[in-house]
Amino acid sequence: MSQVIGYEREGDIAVLSAQNPPVNALGVHVRRGLMAGIERAESEGAKAVLIYGQGRTYFAGADIREFGKPPQDPSLPVLCDRIEASPLLVVSALHGTALGGGLEVALSCHYRIAVPSAKVGLPEVNLGIIPGAGGTQRLPRVAGVDAALGMITTGRHVRASEALEMGVLDKVEDGDPREIGLTYVRDLLEADAPRRPVCDMARPTPIDFDATYDAVLKKGRGQLSPAIAVRAVQASCEAENFAAGQARERELFLELMASDQRKGLIHAFFSERAVSKLPELQGIEPRDLDRIGVIGGGTMGAGIATSALLAGFRVVLLEMTQEAAHAAKDRIASNLAGAVKRGKLSPENQEDILKNKLILATDYGALSGVDLAIEAVFEDIEVKKQVFAQLDAVCKNGTVLATNTSYLDINEIAGSTGRPGDVIGLHFFSPAHVMKLLEIVVADQTAPDVVATGFALGKRLGKVSVRAGVCDGFIGNRILSAYRTCADHMVLDGASPFQIDTALTRFGFAMGPFAVYDLAGLDIGWAARKRKRAAGLDPRARDSFYADKLCEAGYLGQKTGKGYYIYEKGKREGEPNPEVMPLIETERAARGISPRAFTDEEIVRRYMVAMVNEAARVVGEGIARRPLDVDVTLLYGYGFPCYWGGPLKWADLQGLPKVLDDIDTWSEEDAYFWKPAPLLVQLVADGRGFDDLNKES
Ligand code: 3HC
Ligand code: NAI
């Protein structure tokens, strides 16, 4: 008997307990243990089998680390069929998260009971695959096609109470999973309840699968797995019998298992978990956090305060005037109302937060007791330095002093205090209470426990935190600046902003760069360009001015209703602004450029290669510790298509020699911009990829 599955007898009942921490993933030893447990129970003359998980959860799914490796018997579908076919009464008791293969094991049991806090789901599509052990065939039989598709195409986790209503669970009861399971099995035996194999249930009623497939494909913005899942569920209605439906599921599952999208999404899954694991933080205790100060209550300050309040912190928000403080409170109230609407906050808690947890202030003295202060005032180094000098004067010893600056030098900001070890960058993304990414920017003198406190705060706020070093734009905005420059060059040379946006959204980006400019406000880029020009541009750099002309005309994007696009009231998407192309054409003519045609493919390729090249520099310079830190930054902060796993995973999948070849070719037209990053050159010379660096770390 394998050690990862315990076997005991409770009278007529054989009890199989999973003991494979942390999440009882169904690796080969667990599968063998379950198989052996069922066989032993049958050979020993037990009447029933109870399966449950020890520790924090029932099985949370197949062992993702086995994906892409040679399969080892028994496979999960074979195991599930064997459980279902057992002549004994087989019951599962669920707690924690019964996900993917975990729920598939449960569905192959004859009855299912769960504790109220349990959640079930088939999240395989989020890993680029579909349920592969009968989930697409059994779930529609127990819950109907609509409910099954609702779970399988989104991967959402469903609470026990809802799963009970759907028929996925037979009973929900509070208590220890082993105990409630045993009582349930005894009741079933006493009532002489029959075995109830789902494979024997009638085929579910079909729906219009073609229409559903099209709708799901469109919603996935290029992600294939949810749409393919629709076809697998279709087989549960249309295949001749259960086995034929299962064979179709297997075929589709294996196709996706071999796909680049699966590789990208699995990379994203493990990278998201690896980002916060930094060797230098091992054994370092974060500082205690209870009260958070926020300085500046504009777009970002209000968002940061909302995020902290939603996580249960008390917040002191400092603004320049009473009026500004009240405006900030209105912004926070509106953010909280949104959280109530989305079911993330109860109306009572909303009221309690606004009344008791949020303190408004205009006097720095109010910040004397905070454990961490985050500054989100105007992006101006002198203003920031003044704010930090005041924080230094009033905050108690040990307060972490954080800045939300997008670009400014945090070493210089830290230098305006007498305690640079306490200063750190906490770069949130807009809207700060919604966006998952937090860049934790470590300055030269930041103390290790201050870094640990940044990560602890990120965790409490539900963020994905990435460590970054100090440079102009840190990881994300620095790379952004390179690929936007590439887009600007393509516009000068003949592509239109609208073609570029379309090509990139077809590639999978949530938005194209010009639509993003409009969303953020064209004045932000304008200010950055002015700043760079004032600092002195390299004469070889290609600058462009057409965007300045839009700003000078008062077109600042969505906030003014006009930018690259024109926005009708109430509509989020705009129509191309006809005044844009003439401005571009005038600039091309003035520069003597004869515009040429770009294919969508070339647009994507140049944009992506520019991104990869700058990302390689960011890693090479140690601004990002590992390639995966860049990948997670772009995935969670910049709308990068999740199924590519991030730009550096994309580059690995393309092959780095090809990426370098492109740079070499394009450097003939612009040797200044298309200069290969030393790390990229090195990796190609060594025949290695970015992921090799991830594995070394
Ligand atoms: N396989 C292998 N390792 C897994 C795993 C899995 N299915 N699920 C989680 N882990 C690992 C994580 O990598 C992490 O390892 P680390 O400590 O070394 O970083 C550890 O378990 C704990 O995971 P989390 O940090 O994510 O813990 P949380 O408590 O935050 O979340 C969870 C728990 C909700 C179970 C979350 O881990 C999760 O969503 N896991 C994936 C679930 C999933 O997708 N299951 C389907 C798998 S595909 C499948 O079953 C195919 C089948 O249809 C054939
Ligand atoms: P904003 O202009 O909306 O808000 C700034 C607020 O700070 C204003 O309400 C102003 O009254 C207040 N303020 C200015 N000086 C102050 C002082 N001395 N004391 C107290 N309050 C003061 O600006 P926004 O967009 O919120 O940006 C704030 C910071 O966040 C900037 O550093 C910006 O670069 C950064 N940031 C902005 C992002 C965005 O998408 N807007 C994203 C990430 C970072």
Pocket flag, ligand 1, residue 225 (CB < 6 Å): no
Report, as an integer, the average pLDDT of 58-84.
96
Summarize pLDDT for 259-281 with one digit per residue, the tens.
Answer: 999 999 999 999 999 999 998 89
Nearest CA to ligand 2 atom 3: 298
Average pLDDT, the chain: 96
Active-site residues, by number, are 104, 124
Pocket flag, ligand 2, residue 453 (CB < 6 Å): no
Compute, in angstroms, the gap from residue 332 CA to the centroid of ligand 2: 14
Looking up tokens 């796909």 gives 259
256 in Cβ contact with 129 (< 8 Å):
yes
Ligand nearest to the CA of 24: 1
Give the nearest ligand 1 atom to 157 CA.
34
The string of DSSP letters for 188-199 reads HHHTTPPP--GG
Burial (CB count within 10 angstroms: exposed 0-12, middle 13-18, buried 19+), residue 153? buried
Summarize pLDDT for 308-350 with one digit per residue, the tens.
Answer: 999 999 999 999 999 999 999 999 999 999 999 999 899 999 9
116's torsion region: left (phi>0), alpha (psi -120 to 50) or beta?
alpha
Question: What domains are there in the chain, each with its CATH number?
Answer: 5-258 (3.90.226.10), 289-468 (3.40.50.720), 476-696 (1.10.1040.50)
Summarize pLDDT for 629-677 with one digit per residue, the tens.
Answer: 999 999 999 999 999 999 999 999 999 999 999 999 999 999 999 999 9
522 in Cβ contact with 562 (< 8 Å):
no
131 in Cβ contact with 248 (< 8 Å):
no
Closest CA to 270 of 482, 67, 485, 539: 67
How far is the C-alpha of 80 from the C-alpha of 89, rounded, in Å? Answer: 14
Closest CA to 301 of 330, 264, 332, 276: 332
Summarize pLDDT for 186-239 with one digit per residue, the tens.
Answer: 999 999 999 999 999 999 999 999 999 999 999 999 999 999 999 999 999 999
Compute, in angstroms, the gap from residue 59 CA to the centroid of ligand 1: 10
State whether residue 464 is helix, strand or coil.
Answer: strand
Pocket flag, ligand 1, residue 97 (CB < 6 Å): yes
Which percentage of the chain shows pLDDT scores above 70? 100
CA angle 303, 304, 306 (to 5 degrees): 65
Provide the 10 A C-beta neighbour count for residue 132: 25
Pocket flag, ligand 1, residue 25 (CB < 6 Å): yes
Give the nearest ligand 1 atom to 64 CA.
1
How far is the C-alpha of 33 from the C-alpha of 3, rounded, in Å? Answer: 8
Summarize pLDDT for 507-536 with one digit per residue, the tens.
Answer: 999 899 999 999 888 988 898 889 889 989
Summarize pLDDT for 20-49 with one digit per residue, the tens.
Answer: 999 999 999 999 999 999 999 999 999 999
In order of 182, 311, 419, 424, the CA distances from 449 in angstroms are 47, 21, 14, 11
pLDDT of residue 1: 42
Nearest CA to ligand 1 atom 35: 60
Question: Which residue type is seen at 247?
Answer: A
Token duo for residue 47? 């009447």
Report, as an integer, the average pLDDT of 431-442.
96
| Element spanning 506, H or E | helix 497-507
Give the nearest ligand 2 atom to 328 CA.
9
